[in-house]
């Protein structure tokens, strides 16, 4: 879980770096490229969803008698919606901040495309998690991801 947290924090730092680096080009890489920004936002969404995971739902009767716990899909859905909304707000803030940088271009279209990448990444993660929760092995894997701490 620490590795996932580290990857989530690094991906967030990469987004801030890509969006707010004062020059448009760094070592020949176009930081204003929409594909680069969309990939960074999608990766950040993926890592934050995996990092936060979901909450465990346990039957009160078996709470102290058994270690069998199941994952509830509703908190995972809330988690995906919360992360997506936070990253959309971050995309708006970063796109607005690009107006202050001299060599960067900020447009509402770029904000919409970055927001779409966040929402699509979150929806894809939710679909994969929901499909995994329907199988025994997938449920075990998701439970392993959630209970690593």
Give the predicted TM-score (pTM) of the model: 0.76
Give all strands (DSSP E) within the chain, no chain letters: 25-26, 29-30, 56-57, 70-71
What mean pLDDT do residues 112-141 have?
84
Query: Who wins on pLDDT, 53 or 108?
Result: 108
Cα–Cα distance measured from residue 70 to residue 44, given in angstroms and rounded to the nearest whole number: 26
pLDDT band for 60, please (50, 70, 90 cuts): very low
Q: Is pLDDT of 53 > 70? A: no
Q: Which has more pLDDT, 61 or 92?
A: 92
Residue 116 pLDDT > 90 = yes
pLDDT of 89: 95
Cα 77 from chain centre: 13
User: Looking at residue 64, what is its pLDDT?
Assistant: 40
**Cα atoms in the 13 Å half-sphere on the side-chain side of 42:** 14
Mean pLDDT of 44-71: 58
8-42: per-residue pLDDT in tens? 899 999 999 988 888 888 888 888 888 899 999 99
Q: What is the pLDDT of residues 74-97, one digit of tens each?
A: 577 788 888 899 999 999 999 998
pLDDT at position 54 over 60 = no
């Amino acid at each position: 879980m620490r590795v996932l947290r580290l990857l989530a924090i690094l991906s967030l730092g990469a987004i801030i770096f890509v969006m707010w680096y004062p020059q448009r080009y760094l070592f020949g890489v176009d930081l204003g490229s929409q594909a680069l920004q969309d990939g960074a936002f999608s990766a950040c969404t993926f890592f934050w969803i995996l990092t936060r995971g979901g909450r465990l739902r346990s039957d009160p009767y078996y709470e102290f008698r058994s270690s069998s716990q199941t994952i509830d899909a509703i908190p995972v859905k809330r988690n995906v919606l919360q992360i997506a909304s936070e990253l959309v707000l971050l995309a708006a803030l970063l796109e607005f901040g690009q107006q202050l940088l001299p060599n960067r271009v900020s447009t509402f279209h770029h904000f919409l495309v970055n927001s779409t990448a966040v929402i699509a990444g979150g929806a894809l993660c939710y679909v994969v998690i929901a499909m995994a929760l329907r199988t025994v092995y997938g449920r075990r894997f998701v439970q392993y991801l959630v209970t690593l701490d």
